[in-house]
A = this chain, B = another copy of it.
Amino acid sequence: MSENLSSGTDDPLSDAEIQAYRQEINELDRTIIEAARRRSEISHLIGRTRKASGGTKLVYARETAILNQYRDALGPEGVPIANALLQLGRGRLGQ
């Protein structure tokens, strides 16, 4: 993530504070992206194991529990995050 973007303030002290906060957000974004990628890989492994043993590809009760967990922790915005993570577990990445 570029550090050259405007902080949205002309005040030097506030600017320095915002840049420091942004560094922390950049680290959190890397953590989230890395966890999402790893999550997707494991989901694919689960799907393959289950299919190879003659089971179902998805377990809806488990998906619903995950959706509720994200909603409970993050509020309404947790729902699109959980849905996208579940979709990543079915889709392209990690195949």
Contacts and interface: CB of A to CB of B under 8 A. Distances in A.
Given A11-B54, A69-B1, A75-B92, A81 B6 contact: no
A15 B38 CA distance: 20
Interface of A: 1-2, 5-11, 13-14, 17-18, 21-22, 24-25, 28-29, 31-33, 35-39, 42-43, 45-46, 49-50, 52-59, 61-62, 65-66, 69-70, 73-75, 77-78, 80-81, 83-85, 87-88, 91-93
A-B pairs, top 10 by smallest CB distance, nearest first, are A9-B55, A14-B53, A11-B53, A77-B84, A8-B59, A8-B55, A9-B53, A80-B80, A8-B56, A28-B39
Given A35-B32, A81-B81, A87-B77, A14 B55 contact: yes
